C-alpha cells in the first residue's frame, strides 16, 4: 500500500504564525514553493498560506504584507496523516479542491504533498494510476 509518506516531500519548512506576509513571500521565493505551512510556537501545524492568498487576500485588497501576519490568512486547514493511503489523500485533495496538502505525524508537520509530487510519481510509474490522476485533475481543475 502506498501511503502519504511515500509521496510527500519531507522536511517542509514552516513559517511562524506571527511572521508577516512579506517574510512568507520571501521564503516562498527563496525555496521555490507556492505554499508554506504555518506553525505555532508549539511547532504544531496551524494552517497553510499560499502565494495566491498573499496576492488575492492581501495585496489586491490594498493591505500591506509587512503588516499582516501569516495566521491572518490561514483558513480552514486540511491535512493528512503520514500513514494515510493514497486513496485517502486524493479524496481529501479532490473534495476540497486543493493542490497541496500538509502531512502530519504525532500532530507535527513531517512533509507536504503537491500536485507536482502526484505527477512525478505517476510519470515514474510508481504511485498513481492513470484513472487516479485523471480523476484528481478533473476534480481540482475542471469542476471548479
How many Cβ atoms from other residues are within 10 Å of residue 44's Cβ?
Answer: 13
Pairing label, strands 108-114, 100-105:
antiparallel
pLDDT of residue 122: 52
* C-alpha cell belonging to residue 56: 488575492
pLDDT of residue 88: 93
Domain 4-142 has CATH 3.10.580.10: yes
pLDDT of residue 137: 76
User: Domain map of the chain by residue range?
Assistant: 4-142
pLDDT of residue 107: 84
Cα torsion angle, 134, 135, 137, 141, sign: positive
User: Mean pLDDT of residues grouped by 10 in the chain (144 residues)?
Assistant: 86 91 96 91 88 95 97 89 92 90 92 85 62 77 64
Cα torsion angle, 103, 124, 98, 135, sign: negative
pLDDT of residue 53: 94
Amino acid at each position: 500500500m502506498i501511503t502519504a509518506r511515500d509521496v510527500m516531500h519531507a522536511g517542509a519548512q514552516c513559517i511562524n504564525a506571527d511572521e508577516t506576509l512579506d517574510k512568507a513571500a520571501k521564503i516562498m521565493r527563496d525555496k521555490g514553493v507556492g505554499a508554506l505551512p504555518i506553525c505555532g510556537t508549539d511547532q504544531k501545524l496551524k494552517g497553510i498560506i499560499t502565494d495566491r492568498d498573499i496576492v488575492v487576500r492581501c495585496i489586491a485588497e490594498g493591505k500591506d504584507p509587512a503588516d499582516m501576519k501569516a495566521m491572518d490568512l490561514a483558513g480552514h486547514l486540511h491535512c493528512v496523516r503520514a500513514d494515510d493511503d493514497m486513496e485517502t489523500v486524493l479524496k481529501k485533495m479532490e473534495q476540497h479542491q486543493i493542490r497541496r496538502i500538509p502531512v502530519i505525524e504525532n500532530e507535527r508537520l513531517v512533509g507536504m504533498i503537491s500536485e507536482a509530487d502526484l505527477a512525478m510519481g505517476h510519470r515514474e510509474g510508481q504511485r498513481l494510476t492513470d484513472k487516479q490522476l485523471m480523476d484528481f485533475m478533473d476534480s481540482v481543475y475542471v469542476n471548479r
